[in-house]
Structure 1
């Protein structure tokens, strides 16, 4: 059994990875979240890309715990805003992780804009205790809604209408529907073979 640290305290991210491991028939992996280990200082996410920030978080997890670590960096890339909020998605309003403030600011910025194409982008990074590093990216195309809808999900989910689920926001999808489509689910599936190798070598 190999222990794999998921560098997040978000229980929904852990469930997403559990679902991917199950559908990929990968066993022998015990997932741990940041809530399951001794606290360590949060690394500064000063990368200019999702991949750089994901690697910063995954490498910090390995350095602090000695465990293999998987981390993701994700955000909403809005075409009319030149790809922003992008890597600044979680702190778009100036306060990290304030979903309501971030959503309110984005709606205000988009109020007069007719071109509302956007994509959720996620880069997941897996770093092993020996220093091997793998990254994978996923994109989920859609549009920015004029007002929030739905109670599921987090972040910008209530404002995002996926291309492959017209008429609903991603906050109106069930967890299963979202996992099957989402940017993070895509990225995690692309990393699954490397996780399988890790489990096989344990």
Structure 2
């Protein structure tokens, strides 16, 4: 019997993106989202200070609220964001409340550029964290990272609502914005691997080896 995976999101776009990535490595696996359950799981309050903590919180919260007939689902939860070297890994999980209050996209961009004024090191990483939560309580944490730099001036043509770093994060080795790299077919990236793909590949391998764990 093939195990079913529950990806802990209600966002249909995010679910579709994950399914597409996962099925490149394990096309036989069935992957549902929280929206596919016939009952409501309460929103998880993300109180962690790291991507790993938040992903673990989401996975365990989801497991706790599953009905009995869904206890054999394998849960995958994620968290991701930007970490800037010269700012000791800021903003991390605090992007939206970086200066202690709820911020708009433009405020985040302006605040980032202000904090990096006169700093020579503009290196940053986009980090993805996936957590696999098996029915027996076993958990596995997986990371994927992509390095780049924060531009001195934003690329306004790259602006997209809800994604403030889209106009700031640049990949020098490909001379492209990170979002442009993500949109390229894999064969056109000259061997460049997306951290999300690396994490999903490892995730799929672990699940296929342990899919009968209960």
Instruction: Verify same fold: TM over 0.5.
Output: yes
Higher Cα Rg: structure 1 or 2? 2
Bigger shift: residues 128-137 or 16-25: 16-25
Matched, 1:62 2:74: no
Cα-Cα RMSD: 2.9
Aligned length: 199
- Residues in 2 aligned to 1:39 and 1:163: alpha-carbon distance in whole angstroms: 44
TM-score (norm: length of structure 2)? 0.77
Question: Per the alignment, in what secondary structure is the counterpart of residue 181 of structure 1?
Answer: coil
Bigger shift: residues 98-107 or 73-82: 98-107
Alpha-carbon shift at residue 196 of structure 1 (Å): 1.8
Q: Retained in 2: the 8 A contact 1:158–1:172?
A: no
Q: Retained in 2: the 8 A contact 1:17–1:185?
A: no
- Residues in 2 aligned to 1:147 and 1:48: alpha-carbon distance in whole angstroms: 27
Alignment match, 2:35: 35
Question: Per the alignment, in what secondary structure is the counterpart of residue 90 of structure 2?
Answer: coil
Q: 1:132 to 1:103 in 2, by over 3 A?
A: same
Alignment match, 2:141: 135
- Residues in 1 aligned to 2:58 and 2:12: alpha-carbon distance in whole angstroms: 17
Q: Retained in 2: the 8 A contact 1:2–1:198?
A: no
Q: Retained in 2: the 8 A contact 1:5–1:61?
A: no
- Residues in 2 aligned to 1:197 and 1:141: alpha-carbon distance in whole angstroms: 30
Question: Per the alignment, in what secondary structure is the counterpart of residue 46 of structure 2?
Answer: coil
Alignment match, 1:183: 195
Instruction: Extract unaligned runs of 5+ from structure 2.
Output: none
Q: Retained in 2: the 8 A contact 1:161–1:169?
A: yes
Runs of 4+ in 1 over 4 A off after TM superposition: 176-180, 198-202
- Residues in 2 aligned to 1:199 and 1:18: alpha-carbon distance in whole angstroms: 17
TM-score (norm: length of structure 1)? 0.81
Alpha-carbon shift at residue 77 of structure 1 (Å): 0.8
